[in-house]
Amino acid sequence: TRLYDDCDYYDAESLLTPDERRVLGRLRRFLDEEARPLLADYWERGEFPHQLAEPLVRLDLMEPAELAANGPARGIYHGFRNFELARTDASLATFYNAQSGLFRTAVRLGASQEQAKEWLPKVVDFSLKGVFALTEPASGSDIAGGLSTTARREGAGWVLDGEKRWIGGAGSADVLAVFARDVADGQVKCFLVEREAPGVTLEKIHGKTALRMMQNAHITLEGVRVAESMRLHKVNSFKDVAAMLRAMRSDVAWIAAGMQAGAFEAALRYVAGREQFGRPLAAFQLVQEKLARMLGNVTSSLSLVVRLTEQQSKGIYRDQDSALAKMQVCLQLRETVALAREVVGGNGITLDTDVARFHADAEAVYSYEGTHEINALVVGRAITGLGAFR
Ligand code: FAD
Which pLDDT value is given to residue 138? 97
**Per-residue pLDDT at 267 exceeds 90:** yes
pLDDT in tens, 11-31: 999 999 999 999 999 999 999
Nearest CA, atom 34, ligand 1 = 364
pLDDT in tens, 119-177: 999 999 999 999 999 999 999 999 999 999 999 999 999 999 999 999 999 999 999 99
Which pLDDT value is given to residue 188? 98
**Per-residue pLDDT at 58 exceeds 90:** yes
Which pLDDT value is given to residue 1? 81
Select from 94, 96, 141, 386 the residue to mutate for testing ligand 1; criterion: most ligand atoms less than 8 Å from CB.
141
Select from 99, 136, 166 the residue to mutate for testing ligand 1; criterion: most ligand atoms less than 8 Å from CB.
166
Do the Cβ atoms of 114 and 232 come closer than 8 Å? no
Mean pLDDT of the chain: 97
ipTM: 0.99
Which pLDDT value is given to residue 127? 97
Instruction: Identify the sign of the CA torsion 98, 99, 103, 104.
Output: negative
Average pLDDT over residues 253-270: 98
Which pLDDT value is given to residue 32? 98
pTM listed for this prediction: 0.98
**Per-residue pLDDT at 3 exceeds 90:** yes
Nearest CA, atom 19, ligand 1 = 389
Band (43; pLDDT cuts 50, 70, 90): very high
Average pLDDT over residues 358-387: 98
**Per-residue pLDDT at 202 exceeds 90:** yes
Percent of residues, the chain, with pLDDT higher than 90: 99
Select from 209, 361, 371, 377 the residue to mutate for testing ligand 1; criterion: most ligand atoms less than 8 Å from CB.
371
Ligand 1 centroid–CA 140 distance in Å is: 4
